[in-house]
Amino acid sequence: MKNLVSLLFLFLLVSSCDNNRLTSISGLVYGTTYNIQFYSPTNQNFSKEIDSILAEIDNSMSTYKPNSIISRINNNDDDVLIDQHFKNVFHSSKKIFDSTKGRFDPSIGLLVNYWGFGAEKYSVNSRKELSNYLAKVGLDKFDIVDDKFIRPYDSYIDFNAIAKGYAVDQIGSFLNEQKIDNYLVEIGGEIIASGTNINKEKPWVIAIDMPRFDGDRSIYSTLELNNVSLASSGTYRKFKIDSLGNRYAHIIDPFSGYPTKTNILSVTVKSIKCIDADAYATALHTMSIDEIKEFLSNNDQISSLIIFENDNNELDELVLNNFY
């Protein structure tokens, strides 16, 4: 699953307060880290149950696991039956594909691999090869019939731009089922926050990264989260530089087939569901500033912070739909 712009945690000490114990769980998953914090009156940390949910999603949609459902599909295995996780993510992808008029498109996996950003590495030989890959792209060519995934032969589906957000939502839903109201779940920078940080007596607080190409980290701004999700996508950490010094972002334009060349450094999206925030953060990154303004004016269910370089090569921001 892809590496996104990280949102820095403001970590808390494990403690108890008014019979609510703060439990913290962290680890490695999907090629990144996860951190989960929640308040509960019991000592049960649910780590086994959470690990099981994360493993189910990994076995369904990881393009880095050769025996996952999605890898078997991409290898043209005709006997694959998809699970409910795969169905859920596909249907959400189709919804956002339609709402963004194709800007968000998990069927661009061939192009992601072609440019060297994916699980498989293709050699860049000719424009004809790229055009052949591009002809297989378009989520409207893909469908689900019963438990079978219908797609063009030799196409490549890749949910890395949405699966982490989905996993965050699934962990949040599990905690809700346990009657846990105050929690924060973060996987690779994708976050959902519910209730409050009881020890601090205020909403959960996260910090948004300053876009930096030198590999160091610093804080751009902080944000309080209460019953909302957040996801970010950026071009300043995962990119390639060609022999002429041109920088190419890992986010692929689904129409041209080329890596995005943009003055936008990072996109952070706030939404009720993390799966939506995750996907829209990627989709907005393929748009111009004017296109983002128009899109957000017609989609008030999400808000966004856009950090970009203006015409004077200065860092600038665009805050839309009451992001702060």
**pLDDT for 183-218, tens place per residue?**
999 999 999 999 999 999 999 999 998 887 666 778
Copy the structure tokens of residue 297. Answer: 């004016």
Cα(123)–Cα(127) distance, integer angstroms: 12
Distance CA 231, CA 174 (A): 20
Q: Residue 270 pLDDT more than 60? A: yes
**Phi and psi torsions of 13, nearest 5°:** -80, 145
Read out DSSP for 78-106? TT----HHHHHHHHHHHHHHHHTTTSS-G
Instruction: Give the pLDDT of residue 41.
Output: 84
Dihedral sign, Cα of residue 53, residue 59, residue 60, residue 62 = positive
The predicted structure's pLDDT at residue 9: 40
**14: Cα separation from own chain's centroid:** 28
**C-alpha to C-alpha distance for 311 and 120, rounded to whole angstroms:** 37
Do the beta carbons of residue 174 and residue 36 sit within 8 Å? no
Torsion of CA 295, 296, 298, 303, to 10 degrees: 150
Residue 144 has pLDDT above 60, yes or no: yes
Asked if the model's pLDDT at residue 24 lies above 60, the reply is: yes
Residue of 280, 323, 289 lying closest to 305 (CA atoms): 323
Domains identified in the chain and CATH numbers: 68-150 (1.10.3980.10)
239 confidence band (pLDDT: 50, 70, 90): low
d(CA 270, CA 277): 6
**93-122: average pLDDT:** 91
Instruction: Please state which of the ranges 123-127, 132-136, 303-307 shows the lowest mean pLDDT.
Output: 123-127
Output DSSP code: residue 250: S
- What mean pLDDT, rounded, does the chain reach? 88
